Structure 1
């Protein structure tokens, strides 16, 4: 029931905009009473919070489904590709997560902490790159956030239509490769002995 509610709410948000995101409208669309929605979410703020958390939960599941590659850098690159694929497959959730698609909703500390866990796989992959000597020593959380910022920028530009479909994948990969080169340990840098 919860998934049906969230899927209908995200559909309304996409097709009709934030004004359509009312408890009555959602309840009517799924054939339930508003009491059910208020019981589950407490109100529109709770619903927006649930949409935000659901977006990150889906991202986390997508990242957890990436097969583990033997090479740590390949594994990290595959997580980046999964991030992009997830954003393209679920652009409405992506907008709720990153573009404040629900006016007035600001995630609280608990929601932000839950969102941060979506990147545990990325932090672990960065740590594996550091441990294998591929990346220079550093804070895996900070490095993961830098890679996330690069991926997010490219994906956001693609979703907004600034990167055309025929070049978007190449630009995404080129950007992450450039950031990755800056993180390489000396023996792995081009031109290093």
Structure 2
């Protein structure tokens, strides 16, 4: 049974997801030249007509790859934590960043490592990506409002946390850090950066 046949049994959304997953994997493993409607249909086991019907062609599919990646990322961040402590929620947001990259490495490379060379995101795609950063910024803002952090704006601190988490995660995906060591280093990095903005009374990491 092909990926397409399995997805058919689960409905149209599953078919759409199967096509996007296959396209993302082809792009990351074989390069942009492999991202053709014919190549994707062969990988999934469906006709090219299915792809044209769902996405309107290659350009629509490329936009959909970006949107799907950030939609999954957004869901992961939103589900990260409902702890009443804003500092804990902030730490869990960083943990969710790494967890998403490990669970969806192909999408992560499309979203953050330039796999879609020459791609110009639509206004909808840019808004989708912006929402994920807004989640992190909101957690930082909650910490500032509660007096748990100081020394920068919510956007500035969120930028630094994103940069740190992205760097550590990308090194792990590249094989420079592995397993338990990578997890420990990521936590230490996030905690150390947060600690730099904590008030003197808050210098115990969450």
Please indicate the TM-score interval, normalised by the length of the shorter structure: 0.7 to 0.9
State how far apart, in whole Å, the 1-side matches of 2:155 and 2:92 are.
Answer: 18
Whether 1:12 aligns to 2:31 is no
Structure 1 pair 99–19 and aligned structure 2 pair: CA distance change class (3 A): same
User: 1:156 is matched with which residue: 170, 185, 189?
Assistant: 170
How far has the Cα of 1:59 moved from its partner? 0.8
Tell me if structure 1 keeps the 8 A contact 2:109–2:115.
yes
Look up the match of 1:115: 129
TM-score, scaled relative to structure 1: 0.87
Tell me if structure 2 keeps the 8 A contact 1:181–1:189.
yes
State how far apart, in whole Å, the 1-side matches of 2:113 and 2:59 are.
Answer: 16
Whether 1:2 aligns to 2:16 is yes
Look up the match of 1:36: 50
User: 2:161 is matched with which residue: 147, 156, 163?
Assistant: 147
Whether 1:24 aligns to 2:38 is yes
How far has the Cα of 1:174 moved from its partner? 1.5
Deviations 1:133-183 (A, max 9, x none): 111164323322221111001101111112233421121111111211121
State how far apart, in whole Å, the 1-side matches of 2:81 and 2:182 are.
Answer: 24
| Runs (5+) with no aligned partner, structure 1 | none
How far has the Cα of 1:30 moved from its partner? 3.1
Look up the match of 1:184: 198
Structure 1 pair 166–138 and aligned structure 2 pair: CA distance change class (3 A): closer
Tell me if structure 2 keeps the 8 A contact 1:63–1:79.
yes
Aligned-residue Cα RMSD (Å) equals 2.1
State how far apart, in whole Å, the 2-side matches of 1:18 and 1:72 are.
Answer: 41
After superposing on structure 2, the runs of 4+ consecutive aligned residues of structure 1 that deviate more than 6 Å are none
How far has the Cα of 1:3 moved from its partner? 1.1
Tell me if structure 2 keeps the 8 A contact 1:136–1:186.
no
Tell me if structure 2 keeps the 8 A contact 1:84–1:155.
yes
TM-score, scaled relative to structure 2: 0.82
State how far apart, in whole Å, the 2-side matches of 1:46 and 1:141 are.
Answer: 32
Across the two proteins, how many residue pairs are aligned to each other?
A: 190
Whether 1:103 aligns to 2:117 is yes
Look up the match of 1:128: 142
How far has the Cα of 1:83 moved from its partner? 0.9
